[in-house]
Structure 1
Amino acid sequence: MLQDAIKTQLKGYLASLAHPIVLEASLDDTPPSREMHELLHEVAALSDRVQVSEQGEATRRPSFVIKQAGAKTGGVSFAAIPMGHEFTSFVLAMLQVGGHAPKFSDDMVAQIRALPGEYSFETYVALSCQNCPDVVQALNAMSVINPNIRNVTIDGALFPDEVTARNIMSVPQVYLNGKLFETGRADAGQLLAKLDADAPKRAAAKLKDIAPFDVLIIGSGPAGASAAIYAARKGVRTGLVAERFGGQMMDTEGIENFISVPETTGPRLSAALEAHVRAYDVDVIPGEVATELFPAAHPGGLHGVALESGAILHARTVIVATGAHWRHLGVPGEEEYRNKGVAYCPHCDGPFYKGKRVAVAGGGNSGVEAAIDLAGIVAHVTLLQRGSRLKADKVLCDKLATLPNVTVLTEALTTRIEGNGRNVTGLTYRGGDGADHHVDLEGVFVQIGLLPNTDWLKDTVERNAFGEIVVNDHGATSVPGVFAAGDATTTPYKQIVIAIGEGAKAALSAFDYLIRVPAPVEKKVPA
């Protein structure tokens, strides 16, 4: 199953196991069980510190649990053949069970260990989902730290009866003690915040007396990461409010236009950005979201930024790089059937629509790429574009035209998503003739572009009719000392490489502001 290059790399990782581990499998006579048997034995053959036992007693078959040798309980469980995006989760779980500490801060480790009670997680994934590994790896690591936490990763394709019973049509979906706990991507900090009600208060208290920054960056996508690196290299005190590194880029499956890197993925590039930022003297404030900006009373003075936890940070300059989020259709039925037939990630959720009829709303690059991907899985794709022609690149439109199970409807405005109370059953669109038309289907993938994450700024800085922050050619906003970069701004062409350049420019502009505008003696804002 494993290629020779992967085996060589994996053999090197397993050589560093601090404790022997056992892969305890629960199998039957089905083809997936035989496939799991093959994978586990291939892995065990790479290290004398890895053994396979087929004496597992789990009810889900095939499945396996990774335990320290000699342990009766505990471990990390997979009711999945962890290939694709979950292969890294498998490798990390073996290393962590084998004695390698998860890469969490000391404070987070202490917080996980202190959680009271018993936590039994079931995490449903698709092996094609690039969002799922974040959740899987976070919960697996938490289960290694705290023996009262257990997590089993379940491939929905192997257990369709469970998927049907729980009406799972999007991943990742996490159940805690039998009840739905989380849907969609989440990191360890976000999951821990839901488990520990007092975490926000402690976070705010920890930040209460933090010294003002010279440059405070809000957002850790490509623009924010670039700004942090450039600011830190200037030797100024730099802070970065990071809800999640990579931002919207984390939802991008393939990246083939990042100059000098012919091919990569969003999660991989996001991890590289985070590592680069952390190599510098940047005070990273993780898991926080900005809720309000308090502009300085005088040029050169301190701005205030309120966080969701209740803390307020202060800085002489602020760079807003909060990016954007998927635009919603805003039609009846969309929210009601979200994750019940309405989806936003074809890579993650496409496998749940195998053999079904779906629609894609949006004729730009994202929409056409989604239709192409889905056409290889589903029975039929209807692509709806509200304009008179598709806006995607010609190479994508040419590929789309070759697919026999795709219907393209132009001048088609989606007006309603319909369902039976449990799942999507169809949609209505208004055609160029002004009449309403109905399409029977089981899923709708929304791919109509992005909206900037700027509502929290309210009226503090100038924004255009689309909510984008108005910036000049130096990245400066209408407020002295406040700069902005990336997809949240009026800068045209929302591309990763452009966001990185704009982030660097905003940081250089902020530094230029710092050395030219003296800092008056004043109180923090708000007082």
Structure 2
Amino acid sequence: MLDAAIKNQLHSYFERIVHPIELVASLDDSEKSREMSALLEDVAAQSAKITLSRNGTDARKPSFAITRLGTKVGVSFAGLPMGHEFNSLILALLQVGGHPPKESAEIIKQIEAIEGDYLFETYFSLSCQNCPDVVQALNLMSVINPRIRHVAIDGGLFQDEVQARKIMAVPCVFMNGALFAQGRMGLEQLLTKIDTGASARAAEKLKDKPPFDVLVVGGGPAGAAAAIYAARKGINTGVVAERFGGQVLDTMAIENFISVQHTEGPKLATALEQHVKEYGVDIMNLQKAVELIPAKDAGGLTHVRLASGVTLSARTVVLSPGARWRQMNVPGEEEYRNKGVAYCPHCDGPLFKGKRVAVIGGGNSGVEAAIDLAGIVAHVTLIEFDGQLRADAVLQDKLRSLPNVRIVVSAQTTEVHGDGDKVTGLTYKDRATGATNLVELEGVFVQIGLLPNTEWLKGAISLSPRGEIKIDARGETSAYGVFAAGDATTTPYKQIVIAMGGGATAALSAFDCLIRQAPTAASEAA
């Protein structure tokens, strides 16, 4: 099942296991059960502290539990945790085996203090790059607090459960049998949902922070680069982010990041955060900015108000709020979001195996999505508003070669239809003839570009008609001491490497602004 190189790596990793653990498999006569048995046998062979039992009685087959002998500590997987979830398996083995987690003592204490009994069930797909964060977070919580139990379930394998629970997007988490959360969430976000007092405690810690020299708003590539460049100048730097990593967390393959031939969004986001932390930057995660109050005069403080009610102050600010998936804004889209309307083909595509879907958008992302989905679903209808596709020629050639793809151009999607529980079709208007057409299908994947997260900045700084932050070559905005970078700005090309360069430029410009301020400026009251 595993090749020699992987076995050697696992043997090295498993030297960190402290407590004996047992793999308890629940199997049947299926091919997947045979694959699971072979996988677990290979895993157990890499450490004398791991034993394997095939006498499990779990109703889900194939599945297996990882348990610490003599304790209630353990996690479970239903299906084979390969693909993106293979790392989740390795981490679970190490953590159940007693290898200490990398989380802070504060986070561990918070998990230990959670009261009540919880059973979490997370449905994932093997091609979902967002699912491992949720799986690994809940696995860790179940290891630290035995009153929390977690099973990670391959939705592509257990289709009967997916249909019964009307799951049409992953990751999808149930708590004690009821829907708990959908979409990518990190450990801190999950803790905030479980521990309802966490947000208030976090706000309390923020309210008395002294003014920063540079406050970065946004934790994507632009924000991370700005924070690193600012902190390297030896000045007091903070980052406030709704989710550190930003849109990169939702990106699958990255193959144009110079000097790195291939990486994935979540992996890059983790590396960015670790790099920022090396410089002692004050990272304030899970905090949404809702208002910018520019300095009244040169040398004054700029204020950023958060959704929690706390206001942070800084001598200079770098805005990098990033962007989000653009919506069609047609009837039915919001109603059937995560019920057939999706925005990540890599994550949710496997849930539509054998079904009919549409992809909205004929740019690179739309055509790539259609190509990927064509290998999973029964049929793909690609709908493009323009009179021709806008994707690279090589992608168009590949798309047109696929037998189960239909391309419709000069078409405007007007409505998503459903039966109350799930998508059943969509209507589009032929822009050449005005005729209305109904397409019967089960899924709609929207790939029509990005929308800047700048609504909260209206009236505070100058924005373009598209809502982008207007900046000059130095990254300077219309407000004194406020700079900006990344996908939310008027920079013409929305690329990771360009966002990082913009973040560096904005931070250097902020530092230049600081050294030109009067020495008394920092003493202004917040």
TM-score, normalised to structure 1's length? 0.97
Query: Where does 1:447-466 land on structure 2 (aligned, <5 Å)?
Result: 447-466=447-466
Aligned residue number for residue 335 of structure 1: 334
Aligned residue number for residue 313 of structure 1: 312
CA RMSD of aligned residues (A): 1.3
Aligned residue number for residue 496 of structure 1: 496
> Could you give the per-residue CA deviations for residues 137-171 of structure 1, whole angstroms, max 9, x where no partner exists?
11111111111111100111221111110011110
Tell me how far apart the structure 1 counterparts of residues 107 and 242 of structure 2 sit (CA, whole Å): 15
> Could you give the per-residue CA deviations for residues 28-69 of structure 1, whole angstroms, max 9, x where no partner exists?
222221111111110011111111122322222211111112
Tell me how far apart the structure 2 counterparts of residues 481 and 309 of structure 1 sit (CA, whole Å): 24
Q: Percent identity?
A: 62
Structure 1 segments, 4+ long, off by >4 Å, are none
1:508 aligned partner, one-letter code: L
Deviates more, 1:1-10 or 1:337-346: 1-10
Aligned residue number for residue 303 of structure 2: 304
Matched, 1:57 2:57: yes
Deviates more, 1:25-34 or 1:441-450: 25-34
**Contact 2:73 2:96 survives alignment (8 Å):** no
Aligned residue number for residue 374 of structure 1: 373
Following superposition, the deviation at residue 102 of structure 1 comes to: 2.2
> Could you give the per-residue CA deviations for residues 218-261 of structure 1, whole angstroms, max 9, x where no partner exists?
11111011111111111111111133332111111111111111
> Could you give the per-residue CA deviations for residues 176-226 of structure 1, whole angstroms, max 9, x where no partner exists?
011000000001111111111211111111112222110111111110111
Query: Where does 1:252-267 land on structure 2 (aligned, <5 Å)?
Result: 252-267=251-266
What is the aligned residue count? 524
Aligned residue number for residue 385 of structure 2: 386
Following superposition, the deviation at residue 309 of structure 1 comes to: 2.5
> Could you give the per-residue CA deviations for residues 324-364 of structure 1, whole angstroms, max 9, x where no partner exists?
00011000011111111111110011111111111100011
**Contact 2:61 2:79 survives alignment (8 Å):** no
Aligned residue number for residue 509 of structure 1: 509
Aligned residue number for residue 196 of structure 2: 197
Following superposition, the deviation at residue 6 of structure 1 comes to: 1.6
**Contact 1:301 1:522 survives alignment (8 Å):** no
Tell me how far apart the structure 2 counterparts of residues 450 and 157 of structure 1 sit (CA, whole Å): 29
Aligned residue number for residue 483 of structure 1: 483
Following superposition, the deviation at residue 23 of structure 1 comes to: 1.1
Aligned residue number for residue 274 of structure 1: 273
Query: Where does 1:76-115 land on structure 2 (aligned, <5 Å)?
Result: 76-115=75-114
Tell me how far apart the structure 1 counterparts of residues 306 and 51 of structure 2 sit (CA, whole Å): 48
Deviates more, 1:131-140 or 1:297-306: 297-306
Tell me how far apart the structure 2 counterparts of residues 117 and 523 of structure 1 sit (CA, whole Å): 47
Tell me how far apart the structure 2 counterparts of residues 21 and 47 of structure 1 sit (CA, whole Å): 10
Tell me how far apart the structure 1 counterparts of residues 207 and 21 of structure 2 sit (CA, whole Å): 44
Tell me how far apart the structure 1 counterparts of residues 267 and 4 of structure 2 sit (CA, whole Å): 22
Where structure 1 has 5 or more consecutive residues not aligned to the other structure, the ranges are: none
Where structure 2 has 5 or more consecutive residues not aligned to the other structure, the ranges are: none
Q: Secondary structure at the match of 1:487?
A: coil
Following superposition, the deviation at residue 522 of structure 1 comes to: 5.6
Matched, 1:400 2:399: yes
Following superposition, the deviation at residue 523 of structure 1 comes to: 4.4
Tell me how far apart the structure 1 counterparts of residues 171 and 360 of structure 2 sit (CA, whole Å): 22
Tell me how far apart the structure 1 counterparts of residues 498 and 64 of structure 2 sit (CA, whole Å): 45
Aligned residue number for residue 45 of structure 1: 45
Tell me how far apart the structure 2 counterparts of residues 195 and 16 of structure 1 sit (CA, whole Å): 30
2:410 aligned partner, one-letter code: E
**Contact 2:342 2:444 survives alignment (8 Å):** yes
Aligned residue number for residue 176 of structure 2: 177
Q: Secondary structure at the match of 2:359?
A: strand
Deviates more, 1:456-465 or 1:441-450: 456-465
**Contact 1:201 1:310 survives alignment (8 Å):** no
Deviates more, 1:279-288 or 1:79-88: 279-288
1:481 aligned partner, one-letter code: G
Following superposition, the deviation at residue 114 of structure 1 comes to: 1.2
Following superposition, the deviation at residue 429 of structure 1 comes to: 0.6
